[in-house]
């Protein structure tokens, strides 16, 4: 019996993909540091094993320098070793991410493998499993976005679409562009979270320099903080401010709404005074 390979299986999307596959008794091989490290090409041979499918996530972000070439090289090694379907996690409206998608598709096709892309809007789970969790728990979120609206996507939807492609239950050799059902500002999202938690939470728009300082205070290396702040400016300039129907195309049902996500996160213990939900 072969397996399903997950690169970044401990990450926000990777662990959901692993859990869906486990629930259906499919064997999963999960790779992350130290056995596989994007910063150490000597570890990339760990992906060279036959598998029914692979879920490929890059960290910290596909828009970082060298990322498209790195994912292309890893996809090439997978396909050459006999991985039959490669599904890439990608970002919406980001030129470099779309270049990575093309390179991964070419690598798969070179060896007769199939490919797929989950091309995602800003994750809802960034609010409770990532950078925003602690400030929201403390009652005050400071971020650079102003009036721009974003169709935040639920990672449980993203994982379901990825698994459907990995198992051949949704058509492959294509990208699914995945958004939630509603355009919202970051202040709207904060208000939905405050309503779900049952106490006030303030949203404050701040400068890029302020955000970078906050990210460095939160423990990010300066380069990564600067890169992320630059990325936020690029993706949140209004060009992604439209809802699309990729979740329904892949799964035949509507995408989950932000208010449902916030209620589930609260039930799981999110935003309870600065503790990050596990």
Ligand X SMILES: NC(=O)c1ccc[n+]([C@@H]2O[C@H](COP(=O)([O-])OP(=O)(O)OC[C@H]3O[C@@H](n4cnc5c(N)ncnc54)[C@H](OP(=O)(O)O)[C@@H]3O)[C@@H](O)[C@H]2O)c1
Nearer to ligand X among residue 200 and residue 238 (C-beta)? 238
Note the helical H segments in the chain.
14-23, 67-81, 95-110, 133-137, 155-166, 186-197, 208-217, 222-235, 246-251, 258-267
**Contact flag: residue 240 with ligand X (CB under 6 A):** no
**Contact flag: residue 44 with ligand X (CB under 6 A):** no
Show contacts with ligand X in window 83-112 (CB under 6 A). 89, 91, 97
C-alpha distances (whole Å) from 134 to each of 9, 23, 141, 218, 273 are 23, 30, 9, 9, 8
Taking CB under 6 A as the binding criterion, the range among 44-52, 116-124, 162-170, 204-212 that sits at the site for ligand X is 116-124
Q: How far is the CB of 110 from ligand X (least distance, A)?
A: 22
* Rounded Cα–Cα distance for residues 106 and 104 (Å): 5
Q: How far is the CB of 112 from ligand X (least distance, A)?
A: 26
Are 250 and 170 spatial neighbours (Cβ–Cβ below 8 Å)?
yes
**Contact flag: residue 120 with ligand X (CB under 6 A):** yes
Q: How far is the CB of 96 from ligand X (least distance, A)?
A: 9
Answer for which of 13, 96, 114, 190 binds ligand X (CB under 6 A) is 13
Q: How far is the CB of 199 from ligand X (least distance, A)?
A: 25
**Contact flag: residue 45 with ligand X (CB under 6 A):** no
**Contact flag: residue 185 with ligand X (CB under 6 A):** no
| CB neighbour class for 139 (10 Å; exposed up to 12, middle 13-18, buried from 19) | middle
Taking CB under 6 A as the binding criterion, the range among 28-36, 182-190, 202-210, 218-226 that sits at the site for ligand X is 28-36
* Rounded Cα–Cα distance for residues 203 and 215 (Å): 16
Phi, psi of 114 (to 5 degrees): -95, 160
Contact footprint for ligand X (CB under 6 A): 8-14, 32-33, 36-39, 57-59, 61-62, 89, 91, 97, 120, 122-123, 126
């Amino acid at each position: 019996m072969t397996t399903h390979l997950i690169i970044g299986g401990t990450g926000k999307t990777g662990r959901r993909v692993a859990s869906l596959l486990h629930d259906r008794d499919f064997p999963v091989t999960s790779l992350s540091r130290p056995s596989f490290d994007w910063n150490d090409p000597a570890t990339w041979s760990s992906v060279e094993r036959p598998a029914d499918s692979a879920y490929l996530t890059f960290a910290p972000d596909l828009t970082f320098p060298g990322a498209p070439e790195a994912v292309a090289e890893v996809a090439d090694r997978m396909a050459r070793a006999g991985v039959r379907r490669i599904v890439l996690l990608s970002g919406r409206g980001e030129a470099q991410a779309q270049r990575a998608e093309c390179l991964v598709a070419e690598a798969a096709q070179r060896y007769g493998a199939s490919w797929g892309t989950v091309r995602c809007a800003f994750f809802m789970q960034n609010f409770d499993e990532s950078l925003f969790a602690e400030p929201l728990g403390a009652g005050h979120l400071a971020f650079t976005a102003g009036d721009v609206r974003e169709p935040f996507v639920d990672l449980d939807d993203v994982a379901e679409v990825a698994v459907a492609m990995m198992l051949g239950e949704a058509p492959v050799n294509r990208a699914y562009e995945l958004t939630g059902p509603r355009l919202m500002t970051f202040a709207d999202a904060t208000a939905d979270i405050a309503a779900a938690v049952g106490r006030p939470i303030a949203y404050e728009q701040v400068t890029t320099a302020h955000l970078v300082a906050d990210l460095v205070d939160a423990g990010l290396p300066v380069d990564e903080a600067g890169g992320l702040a630059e990325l936020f400016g690029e993706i949140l300039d209004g060009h992604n401010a439209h809802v699309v129907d990729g979740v329904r195309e892949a799964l035949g049902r509507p995408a989950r709404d932000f208010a449902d996500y916030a209620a589930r996160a609260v039930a799981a213990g999110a935003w309870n005074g600065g503790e990050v939900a596990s």
